[in-house]
Amino acid sequence: MISCLWLERPGAWRMAGVIGVLFLAALPAAPLFLQVILAHEPLSLGGAFGTALWNSFAVAIATGVLAFAFGLPAGVLSALYEFRGRAAFLAIAMLPALVPSFLWAIGWATLTGRISPAVTDLISRQTGCVLVFLAGAVPLVLIASHVAAIGLSGSQIDAARLAGGEKAVLRYVSGAAAVPAALAALLSAVLTLSDPGPGQILALRTAASEILTSFSSLYDFNLAGCQCAVLAMLVLLLAAPLAWLAAPRLSVQIMARQTRSLRRPGLGRAAIWITASFTLLIAGTIAMPVLGLLLPLLRGIDFAQASGVVGRTSVNTLVYAGGAGVVATLLALLLALFVGRDNRLRSICLGVGLAILALPPALGSLGIMHMAAGAPAWTDPLLRSRATVCFVLGLRFLPAAVVLTMRAWQSMPVSWVQAAELHGISLALYVRRVVIPFLLPSTAAAIALVALLATADVGTVLLLHPPGKTSFPLAIFTVMANAPESLVASLCLAYLGLAAGLLAVMWTFMRRQAR
Amino acid sequence: MTGFQFQFCSVSKVYDGHSALSGVSFTVTAGEHLSILGPSGCGKSTALRLLAGLEPPSQGQVLLDGMPISQPNQVLMPPSLRGIAMVFQDLALWPNLTALDNVLLGLSGAKLTRREARARSEETLNLCGIASLAHRRPGQLSGGQQQRVALARALAARPKLLVLDEPFSSVDIMTKARLLGEVRSLAAQQNLTVVLVSHDPLEAAAICQNAVVLEDGRVQEQGSLSDLMQDPQSQMLMTFRDYHRLQ
């Protein structure tokens, strides 16, 4: 009989397991890196790639700074105070994180096109891209600061309130949330470097859109590969210090703690201002582009065609999303098992995970294509199938699943295993009766979260999907340039509706779990 | 009850270069109620884990009836075969299982039929005064009720030795007094050998006749608790005596 204590025993197997899983996660990116590092000739990146890189970095910096400026106060206020619509605002603010950014770009482009050319000029290129990326970046910073703020105990907040009133509370909590918020802003800035959609729609040459063009329009795999590897190296240069700084902090933050939770007082009349600020924030990042998507529908909804596209792509979308969720969550559970209670291993996992998340998604996809090009036909089910898409998407969003599963794993006290061991319970029985039921809610949440994030990732599916097995967002992406405006808008709104529905289900489930 | 004797022989335990226990020796004999007393961080819980076989010592031996059951870096007899049941400081109740299922799962290593295990679980829950709440999960029970479930799970295994690791540290004084009284009468009724870990000499005195006082991982004094209280040699018991004189 294998002892239950095995789950808690230290040993070299833990480090070996962590390295094995992280190696697997980094594997798709390896071929392109090796190709660039081992290249004998000077790299050819295309004439415009330098300008595109410059544009990408300008947009990333502006996005990061603005996301910090809006997200930090929003996160702190929503954590500290009760005001009308607080829960709804938080739920709505999450939506852009689950929707591909190109949907917002289509919304803005359609809206400004109907107002005047001057407005179109104003909200295009860099400005437009920053606006579009802010929709996803602000929620990330908001959530980071909100989580940091609610992580403080009620007693700490009460002490600050007694010392200097609400100003002191705001100063203290903002100080505590500033570092996580800054790291989230930096991460969201780095993520913009890998997103090709807004640049393509809003007429800005970005590094990510150049890579996509090199591959899908010029059919130049080598050029796309080199550009992607160079972008990845630059991203890694930025992401490595971020991961180094963020990992230990995140490692502490994800540990479940028992503290007296803070009480949210109302703010009387001041609450009206907070509600108004949140309304403006939601209007600026979500409502305006949604309006842009609604306007073409005034001429009529292309219901038949839109439902045809949804019907044709729904199975593939579900397979890709669900498959990615399962792959990411299984690997995350393995990582949680290997990490155990080792702080150093947990920091390593989270650091490498953040770096992987920041890498351009095309890097892994092009790497797999590179491998597939030289592989024999019998490897097709591994390298050219829907399973390949699930696998690569799962690896990309592994860090999201890692945070949830590791937190759940850590919240099982050592004494549970010790009690099981003293009572002679076998490892299999303990895992079946205690561990699996306990981890089930977090596992389900991790699968759902990764599934939603994976659905929003168009780049990977675009590069890796088998012929005819397109996903719903990819169908929108491919028809947006040629199809009638009303069809594109109908499809985008259908996507938004589905994402909002799933978000509502998840939100309700998590609130029920929290109770 | 058959006689038995657990012996700690010059046991030391080192974690990452930090010594938690150093040359600790004491004996627990069948029928005895022994308290391991000491301030926080003195190595009390470590001593319990070594006694239960959940960890091996770094040096020294743990003996059962003269036979080594743990030796340096090796647990020779697995915890489940030592006849020890423990009520943990955090109770270690499995939150997804009901009170009855917690006790039932605790009996899964006892080689009983399903019917026997169920009957014994219900009997023990009844003994601990918690039978009416058998189908509630730990989260639906008060602190005192959870203590009883943990106690029932430990007693259902019919252990040679019941080990209590500061289980009453998080309940109010009224509940603590009631639970201590119940444990004392249960121990007498079942003829149990008890080891209670505590930092409170009053709590220890409610159940135990003998005590081992640990400070900084070393045994400062041991013997009859009443004798130790009369003429304390350890910092802890001297402070306790002085405090009560002041009162």
Domain map (residue ranges) of chain B: 1-79+196-247
Write out chain B residues lying below 8 Å of A413, CB-based: 90, 92
Residue of higher predicted confidence among A379 and A264: A379
Contact criterion met (CB < 8 Å) for B157 and A437: no
So what's the pLDDT on residue A261?
A: 63
Q: Domain residues of chain A, as ranges?
A: 1-35+302-515, 54-254+268-292
CA distance B85 to chain A (A): 7
Q: B89 vs A415: CB contact, 8 Å cut-off?
A: yes
Residue whose C-alpha is closest to residue B179's, from B150, B147, B152:
B147
Residues of A with CB below 8 A from B85's CB? 422-423
DSSP 3-state assignment of B37? strand
What is the pLDDT at residue B105?
Answer: 95
Average the pLDDT over A65-90 and give the result: 88
Is the pLDDT score of A457 beyond 60?
Answer: yes
pLDDT tens for residues A460-490?
898 888 888 999 989 988 888 788 888 888 8
Taking only the tens place, the pLDDT of each residue in A109-138 is 888 888 887 777 777 788 889 999 998 899
- Residue A284's pLDDT is 80
Q: Does A419 touch chain B (CB under 8 A)?
A: yes
Residue percentage of chain B with pLDDT more than 90: 66
Q: Which residues of B119-152 are buried (b: 16+ CB within 10 A; e: fewer)?
A: ebbbebbebbebbebbeebbeebeebbbbbbbbb
With 90 as the cut, is the pLDDT of residue A326 above it? yes
Residue pair A320/A390 in contact by the 8 Å Cβ criterion: yes
A-chain residues within 8 Å CB-CB of B81? 424
Q: Lowest mean pLDDT of A71-85, B25-39, B65-79, B132-146, name the range.
A: A71-85
Report yes or no: A3 at the B interface, CB cutoff 8 Å: yes
CATH code: domain A54-254+268-292 is 1.10.3720.10
How far apart are the CA of B215 and the nearest CA of chain A, in angstroms?
24
Kindly tell me if the per-residue pLDDT of A189 is higher than 80.
yes
What's the CATH superfamily of B1-79+196-247?
P-loop containing nucleotide triphosphate hydrolases (3.40.50.300)
Where residue A41 falls among pLDDT bands split at 50, 70, 90?
A: low
Residues of B in contact with A433 (CB under 8 A): 94, 97, 105
Q: Which residue on chain A is closest to B49 by alpha carbon?
A: A418
Q: Is B169 at the interface with chain A, CB within 8 A?
A: no
| Statement: residue A256 has pLDDT above 60 | no
- B107 neighbourhood in chain A, CB within 8 Å: 423
The ipTM of this complex is 0.92
Task: Name the amino acid, one letter, at B98.
Answer: T
User: Does residue A258 surpass a pLDDT of 60?
Assistant: no
Confidence band for A44, pLDDT divided at 50, 70 and 90 = low
Q: Which residues of A touch B106 (CB under 8 A)?
A: 419, 423, 425
Q: Is A400 or A302 the better-scoring residue by pLDDT?
A: A400
Q: Nearest by CB to A416, from B80, B86, B92: name it.
A: B92
Task: Tell me which of A211 and A391 has the higher pLDDT.
Answer: A391
| Nearest alpha carbon to residue A149 among A172, A167, A168 | A172
Provide the pLDDT confidence category of residue A425 given band limits of 50, 70 and 90: very high
> In chain B, what percentage of residues exceed pLDDT 70?
99
User: CA A495, CA A477: separation in Å to the nearest integer?
Assistant: 12
Q: Of B36, B38, B33, B42, whose CA–CA distance to B8 is shortest?
A: B36
Kindly report the CATH number that applies to the domain delimited by A1-35+302-515.
Answer: 1.10.3720.10
Which residue of B54, B112, B170 is the best one to mutate when testing the A interface, meaning the one whose CB has the most A CBs within 10 A?
Answer: B54
Q: Report the DSSP beta bridge partners of residue B63.
A: B7, B68
Most A CBs within 10 Å, among B69, B84, B105, B111, to test the A interface:
B105
Please give the Cα distance from A399 to A448 (Å, whole number): 14
- For residue range A382-410, list pLDDT tens digits in order: 888 999 999 999 998 998 899 889 989 98
Least confident of A54-58, A270-274, A319-323: A270-274
Nearest CA in chain A to B53: A422
State the Cα–Cα distance between residues A102 and A201, nearest whole angstrom: 7
Residue to test with chain A: of B94, B104, B162, most A Cβ within 10 A:
B94
pLDDT attached to residue B2: 64
Check CB contact under 8 Å for B54 and A413. no
pLDDT of residue B169 exceeding 60, the answer is: yes
What pLDDT score was predicted for residue A195?
83
User: Which of B89, B95, B106 minimises the CB distance to A423?
Assistant: B106
Nearest residue of B to residue A438 by CA position? Answer: B96
Chain B residues close to A420, C-beta within 8 Å? 105
> Of A373, A363, A278, A331, which is closest to residue A82 (Cα–Cα)?
A278
Judge: B157–A423 Cβ closer than 8 Å, yes or no.
yes
Give the pLDDT confidence score for residue A477 in this predicted structure. 86
Residue B246 Cα, gap to closest chain A Cα (Å): 33
Q: Is A431 on the interface with B (CB under 8 A)?
A: no
Most confident segment among A210-219, A243-252, A368-377, B26-35 = B26-35
Of B80, B81, B88, nearest to A415 by CB-CB distance is B88
What would the mean pLDDT of B145-169 be, rounded to a whole number?
A: 91
Average pLDDT over residues B146-163: 92
DSSP code, position A266: B
Q: Residue A49: what pLDDT?
A: 83
Q: Does B108 touch chain A (CB under 8 A)?
A: yes
**Bigger pLDDT: A370 or A72?**
A72
Q: Which of A61-75, A236-250, A262-276 is most confident?
A: A61-75
For residue B151, pLDDT over 60 is answered with yes
Report the percentage of chain A scoring pLDDT > 90: 24
- Distances B75 to A345, B49, B50, B59, B110 between C-alpha atoms, Å: 27, 11, 9, 12, 21
Mean pLDDT confidence for A444-451: 88
| pLDDT at residue A239 is higher than 80 | no
Please, which pLDDT band fits residue A26 given cuts at 50, 70 and 90?
A: confident
C-beta atoms of A422 and B80 within 8 A: yes
Task: Please report the pLDDT score of residue A513 as a whole number.
Answer: 64
Does B110 sit within 8 Å of A438, measured CB to CB? no
Cβ distance B92 to A415 less than 8 Å, yes or no, reads yes
**pLDDT average, residue stretch A276-296:** 85
Phi, psi for A302 (deg, rounded to 5): -85, 65
